[in-house]
Amino acid sequence: MARTARIVRETSESHIELELDLDGTGTTDIDTSVPFFNHMMTALGKHSLIDLKIKAWGDTDIDVHHTVEDTAIVFGEALRQALGDKRGIRRFADATVPLDEALAKAVVDISGRPYVVCTGEPEGYEYCMMGGHFTGSLVRHVMESIALHAGICLHLDVLAGRDPHHIAEAEFKALARALRFAIEPDPRIEGLIPSTKGAL
């Protein structure tokens, strides 16, 4: 059974078209109209091995917030849809990823219960501007939007870092690697739901 999803979301603030394949090779085609976010979502697809196509635009003349937020919401919804009833997945995974001086750790549980804990981002990071449009505060907001709409528990910890670009990229890549292993089929439990409740 194909683990794929396609979602189109249109509001007065943005238009998002997104397709993904959880069993891909990390092939991406990303155009969110926000260059730094393109870079981050390309890294997310590449290192999670999720094939990902995004076409998004919105009221970026006001601020990039709406387009970024809505793209993250749709990615989360698509991830949840593609996972189906989550039979046979590993469910839990973690990854620690460096980028030069920056180091980030992501731990995920594909639980159906959304929860997010983000720690360790340096003071003032939320005000840093990356790529001329993307603020550090948007990183956490993207992570929250993905986790809440995918129904996953995410703990994300910045362990080290100085350069805002490096920190953000390490955070996205850590999430990507953790997702790669959490959504991966586990041959030892083929067809079974990895929960004592029998449902996720």
Task: Name the DSSP class of 125.
Answer: G
Report yes or no on 193 lying in a domain: no
Pair 9, 70: CB distance under 8 Å = yes
Give pLDDT tens digits for 18-57: 999 999 999 999 999 999 999 999 999 999 999 999 999 9
Q: Which residue range is the domain that position 142 belongs to?
A: 4-183
Please provide residue 5's backbone torsions phi and psi, each rounded to the nearest 5 degrees.
-155, 150
CATH number of the domain to which 121 belongs: 3.30.230.40
Give pLDDT tens digits for 153-184: 999 999 999 999 999 999 999 999 999 999 99
pLDDT of residue 1: 79
Report yes or no on 200 lying in a domain: no
* Number of domains comprising the chain: 1
Average pLDDT over residues 173-196: 96
In angstroms, rounded to a whole number, what is the distance separating the alpha carbons of residues 195 and 193? Answer: 6
Pair 176, 109: CB distance under 8 Å = no
- Exposure string of 158-186, with b = 16+ CB inside 10 Å and e = fewer, is beebeebbbbbbbbbbbbbbbbbbbbbee
Q: What share of the chain is helix, strand, coil (3-state, %, to 5)?
A: 35, 30, 30
Report yes or no on 188 lying in a domain: no
Report yes or no on 145 lying in a domain: yes
pLDDT at 103 over 90: yes
pLDDT of residue 142: 98
**pTM (two decimals):** 0.97
Rg of the chain over Cα atoms, rounded to whole angstroms, equals: 16
pLDDT at 94 over 90: yes
For the chain, what percent of residues have pLDDT higher than 90?
98
Q: Helices marked H in the chain — which ranges?
A: 35-48, 65-83, 136-150, 164-182
